[in-house]
Amino acid sequence: MTRGHSSLIGIGCIIDTLTGLVLDAHVLSQHCQTCATSGEWVKRETPHRYEQWLAQNPQEGCSVNYKGSSEMMEPEAAEVMWKRSLELHNIRYTTFVGDGDSKAHDRVVRQKPYGEDVEIRKEECMNHVEKRMGTALRNLVQDCKKRGIL
């Protein structure tokens, strides 16, 4: 997700760093097109029944499975996938490679999915480190040019 934007749908995935295989993925959605379409019809045709319809209809097949801010989708997806890793694959994920935002890692560590004795380490994704380093260097060059050093 781009900084400063919000999203109605998010996906988190766990990828094996050695093989590149996707081990697990979880989609979070705050929007359901079926509900939105049906709801609009009810609202348009019988406005006085719309609130009642909303209360009664988590529709079959509704794809809404998350309520919250879009910035918390990544931590939520991480928590869900870490919790089910033993059941799904009989695997313990012990290294978290992330984008530098520690919310997802912090949430997984706080949940202690494998008990008190198993540490979940955090490593930085090289692409994100490189991006931050490049930005810092470009800013330094601009600052030096303004001061007349370069």
- Residues 6 or more apart whose CB falls under 8 angstroms from that of 146 comprise none
Q: How confident is the model at residue 10, as a pLDDT?
A: 92
**What pLDDT, on the 0 to 100 scale, is given for residue 82?**
96
pLDDT confidence of 74, banded at 50, 70, 90? very high
- Segment 15-44 mean pLDDT: 86
Domain spans of the chain? 9-124
The pLDDT value given to residue 2: 55
Query: Between residues 50 and 18, which one has the greater pLDDT?
Result: 18
Contact 7, 29 (CB under 8 A): no
pLDDT top residue among 2 and 67: 67
Q: Indicate whether 118 pLDDT > 80.
A: yes
- Lookup: tokens for 79: 């928590």
65 Cβ neighbours under 8 A, 6+ residues apart: 27, 28, 29
State which amino acid sits at residue 147: R
The 10 Å Cβ neighbour count of residue 66 is 21
Which tokens in the block code for residue 51?
């609130």
Answer whether 120's CB lies under 8 Å from 93's CB: yes
For 39, the token pair is: 């709801």
pLDDT band at 3 (very low <50, low <70, confident <90, very high): low
Is pLDDT of 4 > 70? no
Average pLDDT over residues 45-65: 73
